[in-house]
Structures are given as C-alpha cells and as structure tokens.
Amino acid sequence: MFEKNVSMNLKELQRLLQQGRYKPDPVRRHFIEKENGKLRPLGIPTIRDRVCQQAVRQIIEPIFEQDFYYYSFGFRAGYSAHQAINTIRRAKRGGYKYVVDLDIMSFFDEIPHEYLMEKVHERITDGKVLTLIRGWLTAGFMEGDQFHETEVGSPQGGDLSQLLANLYLNHFDWGMKEKGFAVVRYADDAVILRKTKEQAKEAYRAAKIILEDELRLRIHPEKTKVVHFDEGFRFLGFNFWRDYLILPDAKVKKYKDKIRSVTPVDNKVEILTKCSRN
C-alpha cells in the first residue's frame, strides 16, 4: 500500500519531518521461535517508520562505526558470523583454552533508555535526530489490539535496533579490552577467551561489573559459565568441542531441506551425499 503511492508518501513523510510533526507509530509485536523452543519477541515498525529509521541509520552509522571494537562482528558491513567463528578457532590454536560463555538476559528488551541515549549523545548533538531516536524507543507496541508502553528496551525488528545494540555494548567491548581481556561478540552473543581457568574467572568478574553495574544489564547466573574447550560450548549456532566445530543436526536438516527445495532431482543425491561427508 505504501509503494502504490510511494512518491506521495515520501513527500508527506518529508513534510512532517521538516515541520517537526512526525510521530512514530507503535511497533507490532510478533514472536518467532528460537532453537530452544522459547519465543523471541520482535517489534515490527510500520513501513513509514522503517523508511525514516533507515534514512537516519545511513547518516549516523558511519559516525559510530569508526569507534566500534574490531572483534564486534554482528550487523556491520564487512563483518560476519563466520569471521567471529574463525576468530575463536584461531584463538584456540594460539593457546586459548578457556572460554567465558556469556548470556545476557533479555538484552534488547532491557536496554535502559537514558543510558543508551547518553551513548548516542556522545557523538550526535543534533536535537532533531536525538528526538527521533528517543521517539522510536518510546513509541510502545501493539500486541493484538492492546497497546503497551515501552519504558526500557530497543525493539528487535527495527532498522536501528542492531546499530543501537552495538553502540550500547561497545562500552563493554572496550572496557574489557582495557582490562586485558579478549572479547568476541556478535550482537548480544559474546565469549571471552583466556589461557587459564584463573584468568577466565577473573574475566567473568570483570564482565559482570561492566554489564551489571555500569550498563544496568543482567547476566544469566546459570547460563553464563567458564568452560574448557574440551567441555564444549555453543556460539552462534555452532558447537565448539576440543578442536572440532560441529553444526547441530537441526541446522544440517534445515540446510538439506533447502537444497531439496531448490535443486533438480537428478542433482540432489550427489549434493546431499557430499554434505553428509563434509
């Protein structure tokens, strides 16, 4: 519907922005199932708000990008999950034997607005842009026909949410770096690599102080743990165990199903056989 009258809609959006009359709409709450069977809440903005968010992102992202930690791999141009995985594998070969497997509870839903806006304001001083970002954070959400206010959190699903997440956790990245700890992070998934168990425990304590005391987030007390590579741990959907990187059966099945859906019958047996061998 937006695209049918795209020229008129964009001109109207531009007019509202110029006049200071633009007001973000509440996002639509939608749930997707995670690998563990639990539901992850998404906040889907209207097309109008997505257009405006993307326009703002294109302007401010290069400003923040130059400050971001070099081992932050999530939702950044030129960075990928595979690079994060390879970084961990290189660290293992370099003698890092222990991992602090971090789990931040409900990260996107619990980012404090005031602390986040302080991080934004360190680089962005334009009052109109700051008002826009705050407006998206506080627009609320609709679940069914029920409106809910948002006093904390940055809704996953918006064009700005990943950038704001990286901006907020950049303090953690560099804070750990200053203390001498190597962090590999992809959005809110992070691991800290150490060579001894004592160093890993020290890193855990440092991470807890930065995340909970300085950023007002919560570390999951049971899921966050210090592990040896031989014990194994999970990161970005991969299982690390000793010198092996294991793709879970569910992901293998999903990949094979995708191959079946797009591959001619004559080629399926050969391709799926190669996948199984690899």
Res. 14: pLDDT tops 90: yes
Res. 269: pLDDT tops 70: no
> Which pLDDT does position 140 carry in this prediction?
94
Fold exhibited by the domain 6-262: Alpha-Beta Plaits (3.30.70)
Question: What is the band of 97 on the pLDDT scale with cuts at 50, 70, 90?
Answer: very high
**Amino acid type, 22:** Y
- Reported in sequence order, the residue ranges of 111-252 that DSSP labels E, i.e. its strands, are 141-143, 146-148, 182-186, 189-194, 225-228, 233-235, 238-241, 244-246
pLDDT in tens, 209-223: 999 999 999 999 999
> Which pLDDT does position 261 carry in this prediction?
80
Among the listed residues 171, 140, 145, the one whose alpha carbon sits nearest the alpha carbon of residue 155? 140
> Which pLDDT does position 156 carry in this prediction?
87
pLDDT in tens, 160-207: 999 999 999 999 999 999 999 999 999 999 999 999 999 999 999 999
CB of 114 within 8 A of CB of 157?
Answer: no
Tell me the CA distances in angstroms from 62 to 75, 155, 161, one per residue in order: 13, 22, 15
**Amino acid type, 2:** F
pLDDT in tens, 41-66: 899 999 999 999 999 999 999 999 99
Res. 76: pLDDT tops 70: yes
The pLDDT of 124-146, averaged and rounded, is 94
Question: What is the band of 266 on the pLDDT scale with cuts at 50, 70, 90?
Answer: low
pLDDT in tens, 238-248: 889 887 777 66
Tell me the CA distances in angstroms from 199 to 139, 158, 238, one per residue in order: 43, 38, 24
Pairing outcome for strands 238-241 and 244-246: antiparallel
With a pLDDT cut of 70, the percent of the chain lying above it is 91
The pLDDT of 119-128, averaged and rounded, is 96
Residue 263, classed as helix, strand or coil, is coil
